[in-house]
Amino acid sequence: MHFSRRALLTVPLFLCALVLLRQGIVVATQQVPLIGRQVEVMQQQDIDPAALFYTESRVALRAIRQADARVN
């Protein structure tokens, strides 16, 4: 009983927080030109800023090969 009451309270609150966070980011992207431009660049080049390591990012791998080819 205690368990289900807590779950019933936590889950909707968390979902509301997620929706608010998403809306916040959408508004910030529209209102702050700096963030808007950055997001535009990332979407155009399909960059994943959350990539943990360079091998997870195709853009990073391509960039490294280009730099290597130009210098060496």
Partner 1 sequence: MNKSWTEDLVAILLGTVILAIALLVFLLAPLGDVSESVEQASLMAGFSADNWMADNEFISGTGELLNSLANSSRPGRWSTNPFGAFSLNTLTFGIGMLVFFIALFGAGTVLMKEKTGPFIKGFLLVYGVALAAFLLGNQQEFRDLGLGYQLWAIILGLLVSNTIGIPDFLRPALKHELYIKTGLIMLGAEVLFGKILAIGLPGIFVAWIVTPVVLITTFWFGQKVLKIGSKTLNITISADMSVCGVSAAIATAAACKASKEELTTAVGLSMVFTSVMMIALPAFITAVGMPEVLGGAWIGGTVDATGAVVAAGAFLGDTALNVAATIKMIQNILIGVLAFGVAVYWTAKVDKTADSEVTAAEIWTRFPKFVLGFLGASLVFSLLYEILGDTLAVILVEGAAIEFTSDMRGWFFALAFGSIGLSTNFKELRSQFSGGKPLILYACGQSLNLCLTLLMAWIMFYKVFPGITDAL
Q: How many residues comprise the chain?
A: 72
Helix axes 33-45, 2-31, angle to 10 degrees: 100
Q: Is 66 exposed, middle or buried (0-12, 13-18, 19+ CB in 10 A)?
A: exposed
In the region spanning residues 7 to 66, those forming contacts with partner 1, defined by CB under 8 A, are: 7, 9-10, 14, 18, 21-22, 25-26, 29, 34-35, 37-39, 41-43, 45, 47-57, 59-66
Q: Figure out which of the listed residues 6, 16, 20, 30 binds partner 1, where binding follows CB under 8 A.
A: 6
Write the single-letter amino acid at 62: R
70 binds partner 1 (CB under 8 A): yes
Distance CA 61, CA 49 (A): 14
List residues binding partner 1 (CB under 8 A). 3, 6-7, 9-10, 14, 18, 21-22, 25-26, 29, 34-35, 37-39, 41-43, 45, 47-57, 59-68, 70-72
